[in-house]
Amino acid sequence: MELSAATLAVRIRAATGVELKRCLQLQALREAEQGEEYDTLHAQVSKAKIAGVEIEHIERGEERLRALRKLGRHVAVGCDKDSLRDQMQWSRVTNRKGALDVTEPCSANVDCPCNAVENPGEVLEVGPAVEACLGKGTDRELYEELLEAALAVEEGCVWKAGGKFIFSAFNRNQSVIALTRMLHSSGRQRCAEMLLQLVKTSEEKYAGFVTAVQINFHPNGGTFHDQHRDIYSAKQRAGPNCTCSFRECVGTVCYSLGSSRICTLESMTDEQSALTPCCESCEGRREKRWLHSGDAMFFNDKWNQNHTHGIPSMGEEGVGPRISVAFLLGAEA
């Protein structure tokens, strides 16, 4: 705008991409402030900072966060320490070693590309790993160290995300540095040492750099992790509350501790996948693989492009607690 004497001149242009993103993020922040969901507002405040929303709006969002914390809204049902202490005991762990994996190929065409066990460039590995890295019996030790750490830190470090709980630094920062710093400050040095050894082994074995760690708590078989691809670049769409900062990734390795759980692997023929459907009625290929305590599952970017993975609900009865430690591996500089 320009004011000259009694004349007000207004020039209008199309908003840039950055300006539009800032405007939309401000709207999302304002909507979250009106609600009662702590996690949603926390995510929108973080995204507003990234988008460059004006500081006064961010400060108002942070003030609302503090008010929700005083009301205890930052601790979701099942995330409180008493519930974790009761449900996550190692004595409740269930073992299904010896159970058979199940493969369901596309039945529309036996030669369907989805039915290939391994496509060019793909890597998928599942098998024992924790004891080889940390020593005999350390799957249980690491499980109990992580549980005790969750009970030692501030309430709110375990938070609900989809059908499972995540353990991280209070501010939801899922970097290894943020997590180990919190563990050290809470007197959980042994837990931090074990995680750092897993990081070192993972980086050496899979030729990547650990950019993030996600620790999932599954108190019982009723918890789940929806089918998904891991987010390997900013081009992929994450959930509405995702605040990740992206670096090109080469793979994921996930260590399973505690109860045996099924992991569902599905081939995809969408726009992200390099696989072509065999026909209009292509069903894709599905595998149900058991992950036992101490196992690791590694897959590279090519496999992640062509498949989704997830932990389905198995019902609350008869299935005990589980913890998974997943490392996102970025390309080495």
Distance, in Å, from the CA atom of 36 to the CA atom of 76, rounded to the nearest integer, reads 12
Query: Degrees (nearest 5) of the Cα angle 323, 262, 132?
Result: 55
pLDDT tens digits, one per residue of 107-130: 999 999 999 998 999 999 999 999
- Given a cut of 60, whether residue 240 has pLDDT beyond it is no
Position 239 confidence tier, pLDDT thresholds 50, 70, 90: low
What is the radius of gyration, based on Cα positions, of the chain?
A: 23
Dihedral sign computed on CA atoms, order 230, 299, 311, 330? negative
Q: How many CB atoms lie within 10 A of CB 215?
A: 21
Scan for tokens 């460059």, then name that residue.
Answer: 52
pLDDT in tens, 243-253: 454 568 899 99
Confidence at 238, pLDDT banded by 50, 70, 90? low
pLDDT score for 317: 86
- Grade residue 332 by pLDDT with cuts at 50, 70 and 90: confident
Tell me phi and psi for residue 202, to 5 degrees.
-65, -45
The whole-number pLDDT of residue 234 equals 56
For the chain, percent helix, then strand, then coil, each to nearest 5?
35, 25, 40
* pLDDT for the residue numbered 4: 83
Q: Classify 47 as helix, strand or coil.
A: helix
Which CATH number, 3.40.80.10, 2.60.120.590, 2.60.40.10, 3.30.2130.10, labels domain 81-330? 2.60.120.590
| Separation between Cα atoms, residue 82 and residue 282, nearest integer Å | 47
Q: Which residue has the higher pLDDT, 223 or 3?
A: 223
Phi and psi angles of residue 176, each rounded to the nearest 5 degrees, phi first: -65, -40
Cα distance between residue 197 and residue 295, in whole Å: 16
Summarize pLDDT for 248-300 with one digit per residue, the tens. Answer: 889 999 999 999 999 999 999 999 999 999 999 999 999 999 999 999 999 99
Segment 15-19 shows an average pLDDT of: 93
CA 28 to CA 188: how far, in whole Å? 37
User: 174-182 contacts: CB < 8 A, separation 24 or more?
Assistant: 174/212, 174/213, 174/214, 174/244, 175/211, 175/212, 175/213, 176/210, 176/212, 176/213, 179/213, 179/215, 182/153, 182/157
| Dihedral angle, C-alpha 33, 39, 42, 48, nearest 10 ° | -80
Residue 321 CB partners (closer than 8 Å, separation 6+):
87, 88, 89, 92, 93, 217, 218, 219, 220, 258, 259
* Domain boundaries defined on the chain: 13-70, 81-330
Burial 254-286 (b: 16+ CB within 10 A, else e): bbbbbbbbbbbbbbbbeeebebebbeeebbbbb
Residue 131 in tokens: 């004891």
Helix, strand or coil for residue 148?
A: helix
